[in-house]
Structure 1
């Protein structure tokens, strides 16, 4: 493990995943890896890993991690992989909240359909195995015990949680191990932090809401 993501979802993690893989720090473990490789769920069962060996098993074959469920355990990963650098993705907090709310509502709607296809039912059954972990992560992050998407608090409370999270990561990690990164900054700070050359071409600009719509659209059409 070389790079650990500590940012919350909807902070540019899909764009950063593409960037890290382009720079040679892939494959990158992201929620979309679980969507596309449901067998990865088995690595989280029966419970959260304990100690370096457990985290090595969960992320075997990956050189970087981003997004939930991985990023929720940034402290544990930082301890398990002491040589890895940490990237905290950030963005305007109000825009983050609006984007996060859109994403969870889309995900909730996609997982509950009146007449799902066989592919969708198979996906739902497999993905249900990791739902308790994701619910725990959401509830511990936002202090709510309601079902998806009702567990997301109002904007003021969520923004305060976002800002506390950013402050906690900054406080807990030494400055030389941490990059606080807004993907709008592009290649320069990322490449300087990782000690690699800046590649030709623009920084990846991906939208995980659009990608999520595409992913579930394929399921609805019967194409896993």
Structure 2
């Protein structure tokens, strides 16, 4: 593990992931990996519930990590990888809260309410994100804006106080390549713009697509169930 990103989600973490991959410091672990990788949702859920994490197993094949769920365990990771460099992504707290509420919080609550009862993968995602983010990080009070912002600001302060300055970069992805590459000791990629991905509009578009897909899945499931009921009735009739 070469780089550990300890900033909360919606602070440019996906842009940082893409940047680290481009700099040769990937593959970089991100929430998208946690959702996709077999068994990882269960591992993170267990970790949030107090089971000791096997970091070598979780991060096998990865050279860096950003975003939740890993940043929830930032103290353990800073200690487990003493040679890794630490990046704390941040942004204006008010803008961070608005972005988080309108994107990943709305998506998470919708998944838990609509998709989780129907699909095992959605159930695993809902359980993991609730345990790590909404309950684990925010104590079940994310909708309390003042509380959530206080948690965000306290996290930023504690990282700065506890991580040695020579290991830490406090970073805004709007700063681009220069401070990131200087901190990591690598060359700025020539002729390649810094990646800026997953802004609020893009995230909302993803949520809309997910809702359409789940709606289609529900319609198919209802159709299959209805066909099965008709078939059973026909068989029962002789």
Query: TM-score when scaled to structure 2?
Result: 0.77
Alignment of 1:84-163 (within 5 A): 84-103=84-103, 104-113=105-114, 124-129=119-124, 131-137=126-132, 138-144=134-140, 151-163=141-153
* CA deviation after TM superposition for structure 1 residue 39, in Å: 3.8
* CA deviation after TM superposition for structure 1 residue 25, in Å: 1.1
* CA deviation after TM superposition for structure 1 residue 159, in Å: 1.7
Alignment of 1:151-190 (within 5 A): 151-190=141-180
Aligned to 1:40: 40
2:45–2:131 CA contact under 8 A, matched in 1: no
Give the 3 Å change call, closer, same or farther, for CA 217–38 of structure 1 in structure 2.
Answer: farther
Give the 3 Å change call, closer, same or farther, for CA 179–58 of structure 1 in structure 2.
Answer: same
Q: Tell me, in whole angstroms, the C-alpha distance in 1 between the residues paired with 2:168 and 2:149.
A: 22
1:97–1:155 CA contact under 8 A, matched in 2: yes
Aligned to 1:77: 77
2:35–2:125 CA contact under 8 A, matched in 1: no
* CA deviation after TM superposition for structure 1 residue 133, in Å: 4.0
Aligned to 1:148: none
Aligned to 2:182: 192
Kindly indicate whether residue 5 of structure 2 is the aligned counterpart of residue 11 of structure 1: no
Q: Tell me, in whole angstroms, the C-alpha distance in 2 between the residues paired with 1:58 and 1:3.
A: 15
Deviations 1:80-129 (A, max 9, x none): 1111111000001100000010121133224543xx6xxx877x412423
Q: Tell me, in whole angstroms, the C-alpha distance in 2 between the residues paired with 1:162 and 1:206.
A: 22
Kindly indicate whether structure 1 or structure 2 has the higher relative contact order, using CA contacts under 8 Å at least 6 residues apart: 1
Cα RMSD (Å): 2.5
- Structure 1 residue runs of 5 or longer lacking an equivalent are 145-150
Count how many residue pairs are aligned between Structure 1 and Structure 2.
Answer: 208
Q: Tell me, in whole angstroms, the C-alpha distance in 2 between the residues paired with 1:35 and 1:110.
A: 13
Aligned to 1:58: 58
Q: Tell me, in whole angstroms, the C-alpha distance in 2 between the residues paired with 1:17 and 1:86.
A: 13
1:10–1:100 CA contact under 8 A, matched in 2: yes
Which secondary structure state, in structure 2, belongs to the residue aligned with residue 162 of structure 1? Answer: helix
Query: TM-score when scaled to structure 1?
Result: 0.82
- Structure 2 residue runs of 5 or longer lacking an equivalent are 218-238
Task: Work out which of the two has the higher radius of gyration on C-alpha atoms and give 1 or 2.
Answer: 2
More displaced stretch, 124-133 vs 7-16: 124-133
